[in-house]
Amino acid sequence: MSYPRVRFRAYLLLRSLVAAVCAVLLAVGAVPVASAAAPAPRTPKRCDEWAKLTGNPSKPGTLPVGNETRVKSAWDTYDYVNQRQSMDGLAAPTPDDLLKAGTDPDVWKEGDPRKVYASYNRRQTTSRPYTGTFQDWLNDAYIENAARRTRGEAFHKKVVQDLNLVGPDWLCEVDIDVKDADGKVIRRLYDAVNHKTKEFVEIKSGGAVDDTQVPKDRQVLKDPRFKDYSLRYVFGQEPEASTTTRLRGLSTGAGQHPDGKSRVTAYQHRSTPVVRFTPGPHTKFDPTLNPNPQANSGSRGGLNDMLNQSKPTPESMRQQMERIRQGDPTGQRLRGPGGVDFSTLELRFVGAPVRGEGLDYSFTAEKMPDPDTNPGFGGQEQAQLISDSFFTWLALTPEKFWVNLNPDEPQRVMDAQFGKTDAGRVLLEADLQMKHDFVAAMNPKTELGRQFWDENQLTNGLPCLHGIRNWIEPEPAQVREQDGGIYILDAPLKVNSVPQEFDFDLPGDPCKPTKAQIEHNQKIVEKLIVPAVEKKISQDPAYAELRRVYTSRVAAEWIRLQDANKATDYHTIINSGDVSKWPIRGEKWDFNETWQQYLKSFRDGDYKFEWEAGGQVYVYTMGGVDFSKSPKENVSTQKFTAEHQYLPRSTRTSVQTMTDDAESDDLLLLGGNTRAKPTTGDAGTPPGGGGSDDPPAGGGGGGLPITGDSVPVPVLVCVALALILAGAALTWRSRRRRRIFVS
């Protein structure tokens, strides 16, 4: 009976030795590994088996030979899971929260705030702590890094299936080893390889490349074994400008095939990723178009995701873009808020306002051509302006939607309630801007101004322009009522101009044009000046807010009409006269200050100029904006289908996530739903559930970065020794049991 006692003592001694070794390793640091041999290349799998395709795969496919883009009729979406998205509304931790969470996220379950705080704690105690806010880190590191593997893998599998990369010759996850000029082995992992057709394939769900992979590509293409091979990059989004530049340089260095075709090509397999997750108590919602936002409900969608990450100023957004780039060495980021020109944001679709079901909505915005150096910003401010204006148009009755700058009517500038809203502010400021632009267009120092005065009839040898009243009002909006909602295709604004006398005493010698001269000169105004000002109103950034609030006016009017037929969630707001929930944001504004600015401009003139024949000419105008009516014209089915065949599909996608507009290379669509219908799915623990918030150093190849924790070498050695110890103990225990049984 002494033998088991001896073995037990040996086991205790071995355990003590292992503990001692681990203590030394953890105290000293990592075990040197430079001399260790490189791991053997992984064993590739057939792509159809790797992607777990079922059924009988069709004939193996081929990738486009040149730089091509997937046909627009085939653009679609694909799903990926990231349950961490449900944590995007988590509040910043207090010192006590961080103390309780510790620095080991593995001890907490997914969805527990302590897991997030522990991961943040660990990051902030490293040699390179995150420099942005907690919310920035939460979105751009904790949530985004967990999404990269599942999103990249989902797109990889989609490409395999869509392009029929099947059969024994298409292999996925293939290591290619080459040597550089110094004889050092360089390993490049490709998403797919076909040695029969001599193709390497790199698949990216976004539009960026991995900074660490392109130099390796260069070495692979220089290797004599692969001199006849082609490198095909497959992108899920439009490649960024910097990506196109880098691939062009890579192509130039690789040369061409004997047939003159490039060895390096980019194929845009355009498809939009849609995240699946189950919302929870820490999911962020916003009040966009929501009639009754509450703590754990509200609007959610692609617009919401972009607003969460948008910064208020160009400089703060540039800093955020730099942090995003530093955290994305593998080139897996999708187009983010820096790629959205929020100054062009406009509401372009609202769905059926069914009570209790929420409202689908979609916005458009132009792309920023160079988001890295000149990113878009101010998303929250612009979205709030649209949403607040939408509610203003519902709460007040339409006869109040006007402003008036007339020196003879100081008491009738605008409705008092309307003057407490941003919609009212925008209209009055646009009216004053229009007045300035109108007289500027008449300036004889410009080509248009010279033509205008040359065509005017003179009085006693001098120009004698009559008083003019100009105001902005809507042209009929081009809309399409379809799919239970309304598409706002175009919402043009026009300038009306009429002669009008006024009693206000002005400087200078008064002139008295005849009726015939007034009619003649007014025609010149309408022929030359009005079109120039209308063009400015429709295109110039100075009127972007006016255009923005008017599209929301069209949408609100449609909701108003639907509610008249059947009560909607907006029923108690409509015609309530209460705009207290949507006051003017930002700096204090008083419409009387704008009136005084106009009065000074009118009294003194925007400018005056000397006439060649002697004397001075003053220019005076009056203005106004009238949105009391919102006329619309429903385009026919035939015209809508012919000119906007992809719009319904893109709009449906935009309710879930931001997407490209298939009809315009310069536009994005982003929207949501006011009751946050979640895109739920298999929301299990996401890859990287160990709590990593940083991508792996050096990239993982294939565009699928590891999202789990990077474990220090001493810990790995200790774990290995512990496993050996555990194995020895189990073996001994097993033998011990067997001997007892036999005896």
pLDDT tens profile 467-521: 888 999 999 999 999 989 999 999 999 999 998 877 666 555 667 888 998 999 9
Does residue 683 fall inside a structural domain? no
3-state DSSP assignment of residue 230? strand
3-state DSSP assignment of residue 98? helix
User: Between helices 379-395 and 544-565, what is the axis angle to 10°?
Assistant: 40
Q: How far apart are CA 143 and CA 120, in angstroms?
A: 12
Q: Tell me: the pLDDT tens digits for 120-153?
A: 999 999 988 999 999 999 998 999 989 988 999 9
CA distances from 711 to 53, 120, 129, 134, 458 (A): 33, 16, 18, 24, 87
End-to-end CA distance of the chain: 11
DSSP string covering 541-554, please? GGGHHHHHHHHHHH
Domain limits for position 136: 45-272
Burial 363-376 (b: 16+ CB within 10 A, else e): bbbbbbeebbeebb
The answer to whether residues 246 and 309 belong to one domain is no
Considering 272, 298, 332, which residue would you say is the last residue of a domain? 272
The answer to whether residues 440 and 322 belong to one domain is no
**CB distance 177 to 207 below 8 Å:** no
Q: Tell me: the pLDDT tens digits for 248-260?
A: 999 999 999 988 8
pLDDT at 223 (0 to 100): 96
Residue 40 pLDDT > 80? yes
Q: Tell me: the pLDDT tens digits for 624-641?
A: 899 999 999 999 999 999
Residue 729 pLDDT > 60? no
Q: Which of the pair, 376 or 726, is modelled with greater confidence?
A: 376
pLDDT at 342 (0 to 100): 96
The answer to whether residues 82 and 72 belong to one domain is yes
pLDDT at 187 (0 to 100): 96
Tell me the pairing of strands 659-660 and 493-499: unpaired
**CB distance 300 to 86 below 8 Å:** no
**CB distance 66 to 261 below 8 Å:** yes
User: Between helices 422-441 and 544-565, what is the axis angle to 10°?
Assistant: 130
Residue 573 pLDDT > 50? yes
Strand partners, 288: none
Considering 612, 634, 656, which residue would you say is the last residue of a domain? 634
User: Between helices 530-539 and 422-441, what is the axis angle to 10°?
Assistant: 140
Does residue 37 fall inside a structural domain? no
Does residue 281 fall inside a structural domain? no
Q: How far apart are CA 233 and CA 245, in angstroms?
A: 14
**Residue among 139, 149, 264 nearest 700 (CA):** 149
Provide the 10 A C-beta neighbour count for residue 712: 14
Does residue 702 fall inside a structural domain? no
pLDDT at 52 (0 to 100): 92
Q: How far apart are CA 70 and CA 261, in angstroms?
A: 20
Residue 55 pLDDT > 80? no
Residue 163 pLDDT > 50? yes
Residue 733 pLDDT > 50? no
CA atoms within 13 A on the CB side of 287: 17
Q: Model's pTM, two decimal places?
A: 0.82
Q: How far apart are CA 302 and CA 383, in angstroms?
A: 12
The answer to whether residues 629 and 651 belong to one domain is no
To which residue do tokens 């890579």 refer?
A: 250
Q: Tell me: the pLDDT tens digits for 72-91?
A: 999 999 999 999 999 999 99
CA distances from 109 to 116, 137, 147, 678, 681 (A): 10, 20, 17, 22, 19
One-letter amino acid at 709 equals D
Residue 522 pLDDT > 60? yes
**Residue among 688, 694, 687 nearest 125 (CA):** 694
pLDDT at 304 (0 to 100): 87
pLDDT at 444 (0 to 100): 85
pLDDT at 458 (0 to 100): 76
pLDDT at 725 (0 to 100): 39
Specify which of 167-176, 513-522, 717-726 reaches the highest per-range mean pLDDT.
167-176
The answer to whether residues 88 and 211 belong to one domain is yes
The answer to whether residues 642 and 629 belong to one domain is no
pLDDT at 271 (0 to 100): 96
**CB distance 200 to 230 below 8 Å:** yes
Q: Retrieve residue 403's tokens.
A: 């402003």
pLDDT at 734 (0 to 100): 37
The answer to whether residues 574 and 504 belong to one domain is yes
The answer to whether residues 434 and 530 belong to one domain is yes
Element (H, E) at 204: strand 199-204
Does residue 335 fall inside a structural domain? yes
3-state DSSP assignment of residue 593? helix
CA atoms within 13 A on the CB side of 421: 32
DSSP string covering 435-473, please? HHHHHHHT-TTSHHHHHHHHHSPEETTEE-PPPEEEEEE
Considering 222, 246, 272, which residue would you say is the last residue of a domain? 272
**CB distance 111 to 88 below 8 Å:** no
Element (H, E) at 46: strand 45-46
User: Would you give the DSSP letter of residue 258?
Assistant: T
pLDDT at 329 (0 to 100): 65
**Residue among 508, 502, 538, 521 nearest 622 (CA):** 502
Confidence of residue 603 (pLDDT cuts 50, 70, 90): confident
Contacts of residue 682, Cβ cutoff 8 Å, sequence gap at least 6: 81, 276
Tell me the pairing of strands 462-463 and 659-660: unpaired
Q: Retrieve residue 300's tokens.
A: 């959610």
Q: How far apart are CA 510 and CA 502, in angstroms?
A: 12
User: Would you give the DSSP letter of residue 89?
Assistant: T
Length of the chain: 743
Q: Tell me: the pLDDT tens digits for 380-429?
A: 999 999 999 999 999 999 999 999 998 888 899 999 999 999 999 999 99
Mean predicted confidence (pLDDT) in 563-578: 96
The answer to whether residues 511 and 460 belong to one domain is yes
Confidence of residue 37 (pLDDT cuts 50, 70, 90): low
Element (H, E) at 384: helix 379-395
DSSP string covering 14-28, please? HHHHHHHHHHHHHHH
The answer to whether residues 425 and 491 belong to one domain is yes
The answer to whether residues 509 and 567 belong to one domain is yes
One-letter amino acid at 322 equals E
Mean predicted confidence (pLDDT) in 325-344: 82
Q: Please, what is the Cα angle at 574 between 569 and 577, to 5 degrees?
A: 135
Residue 18 pLDDT > 90? no
Q: Which of the pair, 305 or 185, is modelled with greater confidence?
A: 185
The answer to whether residues 447 and 498 belong to one domain is yes
Q: How far apart are CA 682 and CA 110, in angstroms?
A: 14
Confidence of residue 16 (pLDDT cuts 50, 70, 90): very low
Mean predicted confidence (pLDDT) in 227-254: 93
pLDDT at 218 (0 to 100): 96
Domain count, the chain: 4
Mean predicted confidence (pLDDT) in 28-43: 56
DSSP string covering 120-156, please? HHHHHTSSS---S-HHHHIIIIIIHHHHHHHHHHHHH
To which residue do tokens 């988590």 refer?
A: 90
Number of continuous H segments (helices) and E segments (strands) in the chain? 20, 24
Residue 230 pLDDT > 70? yes
Does residue 603 fall inside a structural domain? yes
Does residue 213 fall inside a structural domain? yes
User: What is the average pLDDT value for the chain, to the nearest integer?
Assistant: 83
pLDDT at 620 (0 to 100): 58
**CB distance 661 to 364 below 8 Å:** yes
pLDDT at 316 (0 to 100): 92
Residue 712 pLDDT > 50? no
pLDDT at 85 (0 to 100): 94
pLDDT at 506 (0 to 100): 58
DSSP string covering 262-329, please? BSEEEEE--EEEEEE----TT---B-TT-SS-BTTBSBBSHHHHHHHH--SSHHHHHHHHHHHHHT-T
Least confidently predicted of 57-71, 224-238, 340-354, 526-540: 57-71
Burial status of residue 476 (CB atoms within 10 A of its CB: 0-12, 13-18, 19 or more): middle
Does residue 596 fall inside a structural domain? yes
Give percent above pLDDT 70 in the chain.
Answer: 81
